[in-house]
Amino acid sequence: MQIFKNKLTTISDPAAFGLDCPLSDLVLLDIETTGLSAINDSIILIGCVCFDSEYADNNDGEMIQIFADTPDEEPEIIKAFSDIVKDRKTLVHFNGDRFDVPFIRKSSEKYGIDDPTTGMESVDLYKPVSRFRNMLGLIDCKQQTVEDFLGTERTEHTTGRDVVREYADYVKTASSDDLTKIIDHNASDLEGLVSLLPLLSYSTLFSSAPGVYRAEADSYSDASGVTREEVVLRFHSDINLPKPVFGTKDGCFFKAEHSKGDSGEGGTEGIVKIPLVSKELRYFYADYKNYYYFPEQDQALHRSIASFTEKTHRIPASPENCYTRKSSSFLPEWDAFRVPFFKEQYDSATLWFELTPEIKKDRTLLSEYALYVMKHILEKSSK
């Protein structure tokens, strides 16, 4: 077994990305194996990055790589890794929930030793990549693809198959060249993990309502030349995004990007555009059995009122015609974000709520609505 240690360059404060833990609790993890099966294959290298008190002042970390000279040393490197992480609480990795963490767990069980990752919070950077892939314009969710997208300038492009072949050669010949290639590949993955930490800022952006500071109505001509109306919400967030994120769905548009602003304070500037319709919509009463429908007036009235009218002018209401009509300006919703809500028809999927003068002045509500629309676009674009 060999252990390699190197100082890692300064990183930003993890709290800026939504990691609620001190640096001393943080461990970045990447393993190398002889294959994909923890039962039939072995861990040959456990690489990690830790941030101890001696580095905490400037956020520098220490890269530790624990290498097995032969597959028989797998239990030794697991135990060595366990000693490193025993007092740490947060494990960060890329797709480690599907590979690294269960591989370590099953390998530990194979040797009857305690799993060193037990009890640690698992933070998988693959998850925000997968969730925001379409809104970021990524061609796939591979780590090196994301690193290229963020501009990490990675020059090492060894694959997992290359590592398996190089390790097989190393076991036979103890070639220093093969060892260097394996160590360098793992080091590049660990350095890449550090550079990918800002990906967590996208999830943080969608975790709380942004601060809408301006709301305005606008109009435009669509591709058919028809004049459309929309509400434009502009917001600011203290979160720093590494790259712009944007998306569109159901006539809504969203974009957010890092902006230093006039004062250079940093943060994110965003815009949400939502279609505004001005027309007649219907409010459907849920307890239709307590209503009568009046075809001539095209509306329903409660039995307590309708009982005083001529029976020939009314019929028992059904779910489809138990409504009252209202003409106003409305904004879309896809569940009961705001009540009362209106529909075009009983079975319409899109709901609408009235844009009242009070709502126009309510910055808190508009901020919550901006987040609501952003989440709707994200949900639809990630499918």
| Structural domains present in the chain | 2-205 (3.30.420.10), 277-357 (no CATH)
User: Which pair of tokens denotes residue 3?
Assistant: 């252990």
- CA distances to 25, 245, 374, 379 from 206, rounded to whole Å, are 25, 11, 8, 11
Q: Are 326 and 342 in contact (CB under 8 A)?
A: yes
Tokens standing for residue 335: 């569940």
Kindly give the interhelix angle for 100-111 and 74-85, rounded to the nearest 10 degrees: 120
Decide if 258 contacts 242 (C-beta within 8 A): yes
Closest CA to 234 of 217, 215, 247, 220: 215
Segments in the chain below pLDDT 70: 10-17, 53-59, 260-265
Q: What is the pLDDT of residue 296?
A: 93
Q: What pLDDT shows up at residue 270?
A: 96
pLDDT at 7: 86
In whole angstroms, what is the distance from residue 105 CA to residue 91 CA? 14
Tell me the torsion sign for CA atoms 71, 76, 79, 80. Answer: negative
Angle between helices 176-196 and 143-150 (to 10 degrees): 60
Report, in this order, helix, strand and coil percent for the chain, each rounded to 5. 35, 30, 35
The pLDDT of residue 323 is 97
pTM of the shown model:
0.87
pLDDT at 1: 94
Predicted confidence at residue 52, as pLDDT, reads 74
What pLDDT does 158 receive? 80
